[in-house]
Chain A
């Protein structure tokens, strides 16, 4: 169970004005749930993931993981229980190290990196088995540098690294956005395979309305740092991409109206 209790985050804007990235957002994610998060640029999606991962700190509010307050924990302390995959396939892996070396590092996530031999025979066997389970032939490329893999393959290795030690939460930050459609499909398919194992809470940020309706059991839409839509169960299953886009347009129109009113007021009074 991951709980966000009234978390806020501000950034320095141009001038004295602070920009609200997130405003008193409260959400609870049950263990084992697969939540899709959508929202336009600047809606606070990425900020939300950064705050959960600990790469940024909240201005106010609390973050609880399985009842424990982790608000003050730095990123590397949370890493044992929170895995993350970024949009950029180059961010999650070490390119000049081999696939098995990368996974050997992941196998020590959140534990000490001591002077024990990194790639023991048992670990190598386990890496081989888990790669073979994916069914895309990566087990034959264990000793190749990750740099030699395609973007999609790299994301799959990153995903395996992020979930190797069975974290409580997996953050997917538009992890297919930089891939060609075919690779994106493959990565999503593997995402499904990995996610279905264990009591893992998955938060997937995406720009694709197709992904948003076809994946997950709950859909959260953010707008300007606030919750705009939160549907799950049968309501989520009925949702169509068109409806979501319609909902986006509505939000944008409401905003345009606000701005027009502002300009009118300015013209009359300034």
Chain B
């Protein structure tokens, strides 16, 4: 059980940047940007191509992230420069990326066998710290050293990214970006360019999704073209679960809520998977989680009002 939970948290923290990226599009720009489905895979395939070419995994992952930023930039330009509807712009770029990803990878999928990836690094850290990579028992609890290392490293990385974003949104540019998503008119009245802020937000959002995709593929040792499918909805589930805990809090706290949401989401997923459910069924469960998270607050408010008016009579 502990081992499963550590594994779930490792994946949760790997997905946390994606969740924060979705928070940016969904909560700041106020639309769910499906470009992330494409850029999640884009990050993975660029990183794989670079690793195959012998680039070290850290640089390769950074380049994958950069690719995601470019994808977000394209969606942003379609919206601001060409006036394409926001959702449609995301859909177009996502579909287009599928071919781009195939072109970059040159095949439908690629297994990391002998390549040096971030996972290789994590293994050697585990070797040093725990003296081995096989399942072992610490204080009577059995765990997989590599998973534990991945959980710790990706947790620290997620916290670092969250802290950077938290800091960013307290700067003058970050503050104006939040304003641009909420009230374009007020930002124009301040003499600031709304389009630049929309494009920048989408670039950051998709860079984060690409980062998650790149690390995810290295953790599972497989790069697949369709690995990004449904990732927007996963990100939404993480954001909404996080907000269920931290709804009334300030903006910065809700941003970290996405990290918490990603961890909780993966814990839920891993326990449901223990029941032997096939992975493909979990897409429906994810969709239901999002649906419930969207509907529940309004239902609770309605019930409270009913209770209040019933109490008043």
Q: Do A and B come from one complex?
A: yes
Residues of chain A at the chain B interface (Cβ within 8 Å): 55, 75-80, 83-84, 90-97, 101, 104-106, 108-119, 162
Query: Within the assembled complex, what's the spacing in Å between the Cα atoms of A119 and B186?
Result: 18
What 1/0 mask marks residues of chain B from 177 to 203 whose CB sits below 8 Å from any chain A CB? 011001101111111110000000000
Query: Within the assembled complex, what's the spacing in Å between the Cα atoms of A229 and B183?
Result: 37
Q: For A96, give the chain B residue with the smallest CB separation.
A: B182
CB B284 to nearest CB in A, in angstroms, measures 32
Query: Within the assembled complex, what's the spacing in Å between the Cα atoms of A115 and B178?
Result: 14
Chain B residues within 8 Å of A90, by CB: 183
14 CB-based A-B contacts, threshold 8 Å: A76-B190, A76-B192, A79-B188, A90-B183, A92-B185, A92-B186, A94-B179, A94-B182, A105-B172, A105-B176, A108-B176, A110-B190, A110-B191, A114-B171
Say which residue of A84, A97, A104 sits within 8 Å of B172 (CB atoms): A104
Pair B189/A79 contact, Cβ less than 8 Å = yes
Query: Within the assembled complex, what's the spacing in Å between the Cα atoms of A106 and B176?
Result: 10
Is there a chain A Cβ closer than 8 Å to B285's Cβ?
no
Is there a chain A Cβ closer than 8 Å to B173's Cβ?
yes
CB B214 to nearest CB in A, in angstroms, measures 26
CB B117 to nearest CB in A, in angstroms, measures 33
Pair A76/B188 contact, Cβ less than 8 Å = yes
Chain A residues within 8 Å of B185, by CB: 91-92
Chain A residues within 8 Å of B188, by CB: 55, 75-76, 79
Pair A76/B172 contact, Cβ less than 8 Å = no
Query: Within the assembled complex, what's the spacing in Å between the Cα atoms of A76 and B179?
Result: 15
Query: Within the assembled complex, what's the spacing in Å between the Cα atoms of A55 and B185?
Result: 10
Pair A109/B182 contact, Cβ less than 8 Å = no
Chain B residues within 8 Å of A95, by CB: 182-183
Pair B190/A79 contact, Cβ less than 8 Å = yes
Q: Decide: A97 near B182, CB < 8 A? Known: A105-B175, A115-B171, A115-B172.
A: yes
Q: For A86, give the chain B residue with the smallest CB separation.
A: B185
Say which residue of B168, B186, B191 sits within 8 Å of A80 (CB atoms): B191
Chain A residues within 8 Å of B179, by CB: 94, 97, 105
Pair A116/B171 contact, Cβ less than 8 Å = yes
Pair B175/A97 contact, Cβ less than 8 Å = yes
Is there a chain A Cβ closer than 8 Å to B174's Cβ?
yes
Chain A residues within 8 Å of B168, by CB: 115
Is there a chain A Cβ closer than 8 Å to B170's Cβ?
yes
Query: Within the assembled complex, what's the spacing in Å between the Cα atoms of A47 and B191?
Result: 20
Chain B residues within 8 Å of A111, by CB: 191
What 1/0 mask marks residues of chain B from 2 to 33 whose CB sits below 8 Å from any chain A CB? 00000000000000000000000000000000
Say which residue of A75, A92, A106, A114 sits within 8 Å of B173 (CB atoms): A114
Pair A94/B183 contact, Cβ less than 8 Å = yes
CB B86 to nearest CB in A, in angstroms, measures 19
Q: For B183, give the chain A residue with the smallest CB separation.
A: A94
Q: For B28, give the chain A residue with the smallest CB separation.
A: A96
Q: For A85, give the chain B residue with the smallest CB separation.
A: B189
Query: Within the assembled complex, what's the spacing in Å between the Cα atoms of A96 and B179?
Result: 9
Chain A residues within 8 Å of B170, by CB: 117-119
Pair A116/B172 contact, Cβ less than 8 Å = yes
Pair B172/A114 contact, Cβ less than 8 Å = yes
Query: Within the assembled complex, what's the spacing in Å between the Cα atoms of A45 and B251?
Result: 39
